[in-house]
Homo-oligomer: A and B are copies of this chain.
Amino acid sequence: MRRYGIPTPAEGLATSQDEVVSLVKKIGTPVAMKIVSPDILHKTDAGGVVVGVDSEADAKDAYEKIIANAKKYDASATITGVQVQQMVGGGQEVIIGSVTDPTFGKVVAFGLGGVLVEVLKDITFRLAPLDRNEARSMVDGIKAAEVLQGARGAEPVDREALADVIQQVAALVTDFPEISEFDLNPVFATAEGACAADIRILLDDGEVTEPDRYSQQDILQVMNRMMNPRSVAVVGASAEDGKIGNSVMKNLQNGGFAGGIYPINPKATEILGYKAYPSITDVPGEIDVAIFTVPAKFVLAAIAECGAKGVSTAVLIPSGFAETGNVELQEEVVAAAKQHGVRLLGPNIYGYYYTPQNLCATFCTPYDVRGGVALTSQSGGIGMAILGYSRTTKMGVSAIVGLGNKSDIDEDDLLTYFEQDENTQCVAMHLEDLKDGKAFVETAKRMTKKKPVVVLKAGRTALGARAASSHTGALAGDDKVYDDVLRQAGVIRAPGLNDMLDYARGLPLMPTPKGENVVIITGAGGSGVLLSDACVEAGLSLMDIPPDLDEEFRRYIPPFGASGNPIDITGGEPPSTYEATIRLGLEDPRIHALILGYWHTIVTPPMVFAELTARVVNEARAKGIDKPVVASLAGDTEVEKASDYLFEHRIIAHPYTTERPVAVLGAKYRWARAAGLL
Q: Which of B381, B389, B527, B659 touches A382 (beta carbons < 8 Å)?
A: B527
By the criterion CB–CB under 8 Å, are B323 and A380 in contact?
no
Bound: A461/B536 CA distance, A:
6
Bound: A656/B389 CA distance, A:
6
Q: Which of B151, B364, B501, B600 touches A118 (beta carbons < 8 Å)?
A: B151
Q: Which of B120, B242, B382, B530 touches A496 (beta carbons < 8 Å)?
A: B530
Residues of chain B lying within 8 A (CB to CB) of residue A534: 496
Bitwise interface map of A from 115 to 147 toward B, beta carbon under 8 Å scored 1, else 0: 110111010000000000000000000011011
Bound: A392/B637 CA distance, A:
6
Bound: A572/B536 CA distance, A:
44
Considering the complex, which residues of chain A in the window 596-611 have a beta carbon less than 8 Å from any beta carbon of chain B? 597, 599-600, 602
CB of A379 within 8 Å of the partner chain: yes
Considering the complex, which residues of chain A in the window 235-286 have a beta carbon less than 8 Å from any beta carbon of chain B? 242
Bitwise interface map of A from 454 to 487 toward B, beta carbon under 8 Å scored 1, else 0: 0010111110000000000000000000000000
By the criterion CB–CB under 8 Å, are A658 and B497 in contact?
yes
The answer to whether A323 and B560 touch (CB under 8 A), given A144-B115, A525-B379, A527-B379, is yes
Bitwise interface map of A from 370 to 384 toward B, beta carbon under 8 Å scored 1, else 0: 000000011111101
CB of A529 within 8 Å of the partner chain: yes
Residues of chain B lying within 8 A (CB to CB) of residue A527: 379, 381-382, 385
Q: How many copies are assembled?
A: 2
By the criterion CB–CB under 8 Å, are A636 and B391 in contact?
yes
| Closest partner residue, chain B, to A638 (CB atom) | B388
CB of A498 within 8 Å of the partner chain: yes
Best-buried of A115, A526, A571, A658 by chain B (most CB within 10 Å): A526
Bound: A602/B243 CA distance, A:
10
| Closest partner residue, chain B, to A657 (CB atom) | B498
Size range of the interface on A?
35 or more
The answer to whether A635 and B385 touch (CB under 8 A), given A533-B459, A656-B497, is yes
The answer to whether A533 and B115 touch (CB under 8 A), given A381-B524, A382-B634, A388-B635, is no
By the criterion CB–CB under 8 Å, are A526 and B379 in contact?
yes
CB of A305 within 8 Å of the partner chain: no
CB of A44 within 8 Å of the partner chain: no
CB of A670 within 8 Å of the partner chain: no
Residues of chain B lying within 8 A (CB to CB) of residue A634: 381-382, 384-385, 388
Return A148 CB to nearest CB of chain B, in Å.
10
By the criterion CB–CB under 8 Å, are B496 and A637 in contact?
no
Best-buried of A495, A524, A533 by chain B (most CB within 10 Å): A533
CB of A546 within 8 Å of the partner chain: no
The answer to whether A382 and B524 touch (CB under 8 A), given A118-B152, A119-B147, A151-B115, is yes
By the criterion CB–CB under 8 Å, are B388 and A459 in contact?
no
Return A93 CB to nearest CB of chain B, in Å.
12
The answer to whether A381 and B242 touch (CB under 8 A), given A461-B537, A530-B497, A637-B391, is no
CB of A186 within 8 Å of the partner chain: no
By the criterion CB–CB under 8 Å, are B602 and A660 in contact?
no
Return A340 CB to nearest CB of chain B, in Å.
28
CB of A432 within 8 Å of the partner chain: yes
| Closest partner residue, chain B, to A463 (CB atom) | B536
Residues of chain B lying within 8 A (CB to CB) of residue A144: 115, 119-120
By the criterion CB–CB under 8 Å, are A656 and B600 in contact?
no
| Closest partner residue, chain B, to A501 (CB atom) | B656
Residues of chain B lying within 8 A (CB to CB) of residue A319: 571-572
| Closest partner residue, chain B, to A391 (CB atom) | B637
By the criterion CB–CB under 8 Å, are B637 and A497 in contact?
no
CB of A506 within 8 Å of the partner chain: no
Q: Which of B378, B496, B530 touches A657 (beta carbons < 8 Å)?
A: B496
Return A489 CB to nearest CB of chain B, in Å.
21
Considering the complex, which residues of chain A in the window 429-461 have a beta carbon less than 8 Å from any beta carbon of chain B? 430, 432, 456, 458-461
By the criterion CB–CB under 8 Å, are A143 and B118 in contact?
no
| Closest partner residue, chain B, to A561 (CB atom) | B324
Bound: A144/B116 CA distance, A:
8
Return A321 CB to nearest CB of chain B, in Å.
10
Return A657 CB to nearest CB of chain B, in Å.
4
Bitwise interface map of A from 638 to 668 toward B, beta carbon under 8 Å scored 1, else 0: 1110000000000000011111100000000
Bitwise interface map of A from 556 to 579 toward B, beta carbon under 8 Å scored 1, else 0: 001110000000001110000000
The answer to whether A659 and B498 touch (CB under 8 A), given A151-B119, A381-B527, A526-B432, is yes
CB of A365 within 8 Å of the partner chain: yes
Return A197 CB to nearest CB of chain B, in Å.
18
Residues of chain B lying within 8 A (CB to CB) of residue A459: 529, 532-533
Residues of chain B lying within 8 A (CB to CB) of residue A536: 461-462
Bound: A139/B658 CA distance, A:
35
Residues of chain B lying within 8 A (CB to CB) of residue A558: 324
Residues of chain B lying within 8 A (CB to CB) of residue A191: none
CB of A508 within 8 Å of the partner chain: no
CB of A97 within 8 Å of the partner chain: no
Bound: A637/B498 CA distance, A:
15
By the criterion CB–CB under 8 Å, are B659 and A496 in contact?
yes
9 contacts between A and B (CB under 8 A): A118-B151, A324-B558, A324-B570, A380-B599, A384-B599, A385-B656, A392-B656, A461-B533, A496-B657
Besides A379-B529, A381-B599, 17 other A-B contacts (C-beta < 8 A): A115-B144, A115-B147, A115-B151, A116-B120, A319-B572, A324-B560, A377-B526, A379-B524, A381-B522, A384-B635, A385-B527, A385-B634, A458-B526, A462-B532, A496-B530, A496-B657, A498-B656
